[in-house]
């Protein structure tokens, strides 16, 4: 791709790290954002070792001042930001009767308000360029619903709907907006914690996945790279399931 600057949230680990590395491989300069700047070091080092360009950014995506300051830092260092991957997220398995207002607000602040704030922070750059790509990472639980995941799955459902509305509003400005709802993606902090918690044998999980393998962060990164490229310019407002066929809509 021609020189472009991408911002990937939650990029210290897991899916976000894979997306950041893949976009850098495709030629983007990348802002690697996570809660703590120091935790971004591995992703930044991997990108630089492969000959790419990246900087670490520490910010809580739910905090407007921190998110805008991080985008400002990225813009100053590498240039206007025209690719945004809203990947940072938190999961939750609280049964319905135990959900508190505090828990609900915490999850929604990160999973829903965070992507909206980051989109607002990069929007002027995309508008000025008359070109932009926003890729929101949702969840297959938003498509299917899930037991003990009312808070999380509904927050990701909001991400799907936000994608559709942003796509309609931003389309005339040359900005596409799509979401990827991952299925079960292994080798991330979130999925390892879930695996420890539920102890579901891999053979059982595999029975729910037609291609008979679990997802890797790179599977999501591949779709992300395509959505960030010119090749996807006629695709907007869509939900691109990357789940081995586990959810078919
Ligand atoms: N792994 C899966 O199976 C799976 C399935 C469906 C959806 N997802 C979604 O994919 C995304 C990435 O998941 P993952 O499995 O790589 O998770 P992960 O926990 O490995 O990585 C998430 C990253 O986001 C960061 N983060 C959390 N809150 C943040 C905040 N407020 N501000 C900035 N950064 C923050 C974390 O520090 C972490 O580095 C999440 O949005 C998740 O909901 C994952």
Interval 101-145: pLDDT, tens: 999 999 999 999 999 999 999 999 999 999 999 999 999 999 999
Ligand 1 atom at minimal distance to the Cα of residue 190: 19
Centroid of ligand 1 to alpha carbon of 111 (angstroms): 9
CA of 89 relative to ligand 1 center, distance in Å: 4
- Residue 17 CA: nearest ligand 1 atom is 16
Other C-beta atoms closer than 10 Å to the C-beta of 95 total 10
Confidence check: pLDDT of 189 > 90: no
Is the per-residue pLDDT at 1 higher than 80? no
Cα gap 208→85, rounded to integer Å: 28
110 lines ligand 1 (CB under 6 A): yes
* Atom in ligand 1 nearest the alpha carbon of residue 15: 16
Q: Is the pTM of this model over 0.85?
A: yes
pLDDT of residue 15: 98
Strand-pair category, 175-180 with 132-137: parallel
Mean of all residue pLDDT scores within the chain: 97
Residue nearest to atom 17 of ligand 1 (CA): 190
Under DSSP, the state recorded for 178 is: E
CA of 194 to the centre of ligand 1 (A): 12
E strands within the chain? 4-9, 28-34, 54-58, 81-86, 132-137, 175-180
Is residue 152 among the annotated active site residues? yes
Counting atoms of ligand 1 from 1, which one is nearest the CA of 86? 41
Contacts of 37 (CB under 8 A, 6+ apart): 56, 57, 58
Domains in the chain: ranges and CATH: 5-232 (3.40.50.720)
182 pocket-lining for ligand 1 (C-beta < 6 Å): yes
Spatial contact of 57 and 31, defined as CB atoms under 8 Å apart: yes
- Evaluate: CB of 47 within 6 angstroms of ligand 1: no
Ligand 1 site, residue 58, Cβ cutoff 6 A:
no
The predicted model gives 207-228 an average pLDDT of 97
| Mean pLDDT computed over 192-216 | 90
Probe target for ligand 1 pocket from 14, 113, 151, 223, with the most ligand atoms within 8 Å of CB:
14
Q: How does residue 167 score in pLDDT terms, banded at 50, 70 and 90?
A: very high
Q: Is 27 left (phi over 0), alpha (psi -120 to 50) or beta?
A: left
pLDDT, tens digit (0-9, with 9 covering 90-100), for 117-128: 999 999 999 999
């Amino acid at each position: 791709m021609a020189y472009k600057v991408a911002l990937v949230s939650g990029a210290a680990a897991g899916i976000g790290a894979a997306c950041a590395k893949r976009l850098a491989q495709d030629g983007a300069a990348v802002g690697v954002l996570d809660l703590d700047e120091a935790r971004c070091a591995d992703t930044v080092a991997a990108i630089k070792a492969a000959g790419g360009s990246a900087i670490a950014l520490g910010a809580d995506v739910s905090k407007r001042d921190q998110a805008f300051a991080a985008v400002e830092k990225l813009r100053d260092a590498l240039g206007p930001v025209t690719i945004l991957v809203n990947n940072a997220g938190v999961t939750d398995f609280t049964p319905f009767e135990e959900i508190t207002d505090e828990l609900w607000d915490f999850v929604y602040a990160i999973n829903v308000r965070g992507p909206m704030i980051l989109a607002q922070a990069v929007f002027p750059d995309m508008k000025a360029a008359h070109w932009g790509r926003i890729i929101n990472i949702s969840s297959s639980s938003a498509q299917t619903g899930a037991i003990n995941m009312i808070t999380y799955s509904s927050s990701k459902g909001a991400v799907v709907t936000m994608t559709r509305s942003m796509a309609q509003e931003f389309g005339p400005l040359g900005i596409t907006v799509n979401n990827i709802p991952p299925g079960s993606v292994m080798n991330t902090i979130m999925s390892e914690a879930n695996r420890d918690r539920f102890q579901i044998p891999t053979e059982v999980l595999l029975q729910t996945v037609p291609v008979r393998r679990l997802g890797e962060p790179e599977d999501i990164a591949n779709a992300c790279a395509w959505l960030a490229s010119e090749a996807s310019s006629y695709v907007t407002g869509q939900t691109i399931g990357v789940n081995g066929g586990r959810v078919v809509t």
